[in-house]
Structure 1
Amino acid sequence: MGNDNAFELRLIERLAALREERGFSLEELANASGISRATLSRLERGETSPTAQLLGKLCAVYAMPMSRLIAEAEAQPAQLIRAAEQSTWADIESGFTRRMVSPPAKGFRTELIEGRLPPGAVIDYPLPPVRGLEQHMWMLSGVLEYTLEGVTHRLQKGDCLRFHLFGATRFHCPGPHAAHYLIAICEP
């Protein structure tokens, strides 16, 4: 969401719409996601910004990749997405930034996401948003310790890790520089 307040508002509206479409009360969504009812209520009222972990938990409940959620808050993407038009979302809590290089779109199953994680930052995702997502993570610079279902992979510039996502993950940038990477995601 970065500096785009209108985008953040559309994202919050989409989260509220998803809850209503699924017929969840705030209490039911709190129980399903592990996020407090108070936090969900503040989020839907626009009193707090969503974090990467919060979005990850909600996406797991809704069985959708985070990038799909973000894309649904955007206008339908064009065939050519200029660098200046690529949406960037920032997690204020961790400092993580995510740029939708090639966002999800009707008729396409693959998307490209650029990630940057500052030194010392950690993001945990207890569940995948969609089981079996095919992912290819290519390190552009820095070091990323990526834990996939209990196994930690130390990725450095040029390394590529490919996998199908079924369990918990952890992103950790040990530093001293930011971890900069590109992820290709293909829905099963």
Structure 2
Amino acid sequence: MESSIETLLKSELTKLGQQLRTLRTERGWTLSELSEQADVSEAYLSRLEGGERQPSLAVLFNLARVYDVSLPDLFGSTLENSKPVASERKASAGVVIRAGDRLLQEGNGLRYTSLAGGNHLADLHPLRVIVPVDRQGDHHYQHSGEEWLYVLSGQLILTLVDEQFLLNPGDAAHFDAFLPHDISATGEQDAEILLVACTPTRSLLKSYLSEKQS
């Protein structure tokens, strides 16, 4: 006979799995797409959503990061049952993002933070991106949509197809993101830019902000 602890654990794993499936389907992602973003196998994710696997804390933190939610939210403990703090309040016309609420993330040698309200289904994706001057690699990326960027500090090299442009603070660029492109810093300091993409989030994450999968 199962102990009460085992019964409770099974119940909680089932709830967790249901919430994970809800978060994924709300964003319109397949298991394959989530696997690429979270760097976790499809089979593992499938077992999590089925309540058949007990996840590690590292996996939970990673999924919370990908879904842009808190750990309690993974277990269905959403803000519906609590009052949001002032910085989290959403107005009927949009959302305000406070400077202290933005988390700096890393991907493909870049440091970045979202300047949007965490709506993964939105068409517009503004980011603050720091391009380290010692960033390694020579990649060209292509994805659907278009991009606009503005250099805040440092010097940026924008590569479009086989042409390079040196951008200084105050310079901006607007281009079709389907053109092969890349960004890199030059000079003695990191480059900091505002990047606004009109593209599916997954396409953007698979370009600049995530490592290529082998």
| TM-score, length basis structure 1 | 0.56
- The residue type equivalent to 1:110 in the other structure is L
Paired residues of 2:142 and 2:177 also in contact (CA < 8 A): no
Which residue of structure 2 lines up, in the alignment, with residue 147 of structure 1? 159
Which residue of structure 2 lines up, in the alignment, with residue 74 of structure 1? 69
The residue matched to 1:102 in structure 2 has which SS? coil
Which residue of structure 1 lines up, in the alignment, with residue 169 of structure 2? 157
Q: Percent identity?
A: 17
Deviation string, structure 1 residues 44-95 (Cα, Å, up to 9, x no partner): 8869xx9xxxxxxxxxxxxxxxxxxx7743369741110111232123x62x
Q: Which runs of 5+ in 2 are unaligned?
A: 1-19, 46-55, 71-78, 80-87, 201-214
CA distance in 2, matches of 1:40, 1:104: 22
1:115 equivalent to 2:110? Answer no
Which residue of structure 2 lines up, in the alignment, with residue 186 of structure 1? 198
CA distance in 2, matches of 1:178, 1:151: 22
Larger Rg: 2
- The residue type equivalent to 2:113 in the other structure is R
Superposed, 1:32-43 pairs within 5 Å as: 41=41
- The residue type equivalent to 1:86 in the other structure is R
Which residue of structure 2 lines up, in the alignment, with residue 22 of structure 1? 30
CA distance in 2, matches of 1:164, 1:144: 18
1:168 equivalent to 2:180? Answer yes
Deviation of 1:120 (Å): 2.5
Describe the shift of the 1:23–1:100 C-alpha distance in structure 2 as closer, same or farther (beyond 3 A): closer
| TM-score, length basis structure 2 | 0.50
Q: Output the aligned Cα RMSD.
A: 4.2
Deviation of 1:114 (Å): 0.5
- The residue type equivalent to 2:68 in the other structure is A
The structure 1 residue matched to 2:112, chosen from 95, 98, 103, is 98
Describe the shift of the 1:153–1:71 C-alpha distance in structure 2 as closer, same or farther (beyond 3 A): farther
Q: Which runs of 5+ in 1 are unaligned?
A: 1-12, 34-38, 51-69
